[in-house]
Amino acid sequence: MSRTLVISPNWIGDAVMAQPLLQLLKQQNPGAAIDVLAPPSVAPVWRAMKEVDSVLETPFRHGPLQLGERWQYARLLKQQGYAAAYVLPNTLKYALIPLFAGIATRVGYKGEMRFGLINRMHRDDVPARPMVPFYAALAGAPDAPLRLDVPRPAMQVERGAIDALCARLGIDRARALVVFAPGAEFGAAKRWPARHFAALAQALVAQQPGTQVALLGSPKDKAACDEIVAITGAAGVFNLAGVTQLDEAIALIAGAAAVVANDSGLLHIASALNRPVIGLYGPTDPDHAPPFSDMAKAMSLRLDCSPCKQRECPLGHHDCMEKMDAGGVWRELKPMMNVSR
């Protein structure tokens, strides 16, 4: 069997948005197996994609080149006989791996001047493009026009996994579950204030009695989630920040009636699972990486100062998120809840 290696981006959201590339590769060569080499923190995303035959977790530390370790790992990959490799990170160090592994076709963007390492090179020194078509373009010729009509990212979770996890966490599957994702790895500027999330939870529970709210995120998001719980009271609100692993967060999102999230990896997971989703955008551009499920809303005030793409508000007021009130988000969420139930 012919085998293809895909080297994953390091960010969860980017990994999700790269999934259509795999759909296109499968269309071109249905019989080829696709393996994905991914950081452990991103690997669960790829395991929820049907096109992936196996997920290999990178053993490398963040930062250092680790040339010897990459050489040794590449020699192990060589035994798999990969016909082609798609290098999605733009760094030089990830492009070394397929070269060392003797993979004949090495596809990727120019990135860090990777001439010779990448031998089917696409140009990335062009105006910004939406991320899904950006990754999907690697399935075509380097000089082909950019296609915008590419497949949507798609992930899947077995119902049994959702039921078992909810039972363990005390979440009632007979009642609607709404997931909030108050975190964002990029920086504080991307975070909708905790008090706004709390106000939205209060409106949701008041107007849709019996609804459960799950707060998801990493340990870094626990303080914000604690604040939300403190404002709302604990009844029906599950603070799972730092409690669930990524594969468990994916399963909870798959079972959600709706998801409200900052521009983050969990937002894109919700889209790929085709859940009703609202994405909250402040310093980032909603047109660059929008949610794409059947029921999706990208909310942005589109102020003159945004998208600034900064980790912290350079003007000090954070108006792009502060002035996005919970009432406006609830007006978008309510019809999604009615349809999804």
E-only strand ranges, 138-274 = 177-181, 212-215, 237-239, 258-262
Q: Predicted confidence band at 146 (pLDDT cuts at 50, 70, 90)?
A: confident
Q: Predicted confidence band at 340 (pLDDT cuts at 50, 70, 90)?
A: low
Q: Predicted confidence band at 339 (pLDDT cuts at 50, 70, 90)?
A: low
- For 276-295, letters b (16+ CB in 10 Å) and e give bbbbbbbbbbbeebbbbbee
Is the model's pLDDT at 50 over the cut of 90?
A: yes
Q: What is the pLDDT of residues 250-276, one digit of tens each?
A: 999 999 999 999 999 999 999 999 999
d(CA 191, CA 220): 12
Is the model's pLDDT at 327 over the cut of 80?
A: yes
**At residue 297, what is the residue type?**
K
Task: Classify the phi-psi angles of 73: left when phi > 0, otherwise alpha if psi is within -120 to 50, otherwise beta.
Answer: alpha
Q: What is the mean pLDDT of the chain?
A: 93
Average pLDDT over residues 4-17: 96
% of the chain with per-residue pLDDT over 70: 99
Instruction: Specify the range with the lowest mean pLDDT, choosing from 4-18, 197-211, 224-238, 286-300.
Output: 224-238
**At residue 280, what is the residue type?**
L
d(CA 323, CA 238): 26
Is the model's pLDDT at 223 over the cut of 60?
A: yes
Strand order in the sheet with 3-7: 54-57, 33-38, 3-7, 84-87, 105-109, 120-122
% of the chain with per-residue pLDDT over 90: 86
255 contacts 173 by C-beta, under 8 angstroms = yes
Neighbours of 111 (CB within 10 A): 19
32 contacts 139 by C-beta, under 8 angstroms = no
Average pLDDT over residues 323-329: 96
d(CA 315, CA 323): 14
- Residue 125 is predicted with a pLDDT of 78
Q: Predicted confidence band at 234 (pLDDT cuts at 50, 70, 90)?
A: low
For residue 51, which of 84, 18, 89 has the smallest C-alpha distance? 18
337 contacts 176 by C-beta, under 8 angstroms = yes
Average pLDDT over residues 172-192: 91
Upstream peptide bond of 40 is cis (omega within 30 degrees of 0):
no
- For 164-189, letters b (16+ CB in 10 Å) and e give ebbeeeebeeeebbbbbbbbbebeeb
- Residue 82 is predicted with a pLDDT of 98
Is the model's pLDDT at 341 over the cut of 70?
A: no
d(CA 30, CA 32): 6
Q: What is the pLDDT of residues 272-325, one digit of tens each?
A: 999 999 999 999 999 888 999 999 999 999 999 999 999 899 999 999 999 999
For 86, the 3-state DSSP assignment is strand
Going by their DSSP bridges, the two strands 3-7 and 54-57 should be labelled as: unpaired
Q: What is the pLDDT of residues 101-129, one digit of tens each?
A: 999 999 999 998 899 999 999 988 777 78
Q: What is the pLDDT of residues 155-180, one digit of tens each?
A: 999 999 999 999 999 999 999 999 99
Phi, psi (deg, nearest 5) at residue 239: -90, 100
H or E segment to which residue 272 belongs: helix 265-272
Average pLDDT over residues 38-59: 97
For residue 83, which of 136, 25, 20, 16 has the smallest C-alpha distance? 25
For residue 181, which of 172, 190, 170, 171 has the smallest C-alpha distance? 190
Is the model's pLDDT at 100 over the cut of 80?
A: yes
Neighbours of 300 (CB within 10 A): 21
Is the model's pLDDT at 151 over the cut of 90?
A: yes
Strand order in the sheet with 277-281: 237-239, 212-215, 177-181, 258-262, 277-281, 296-300
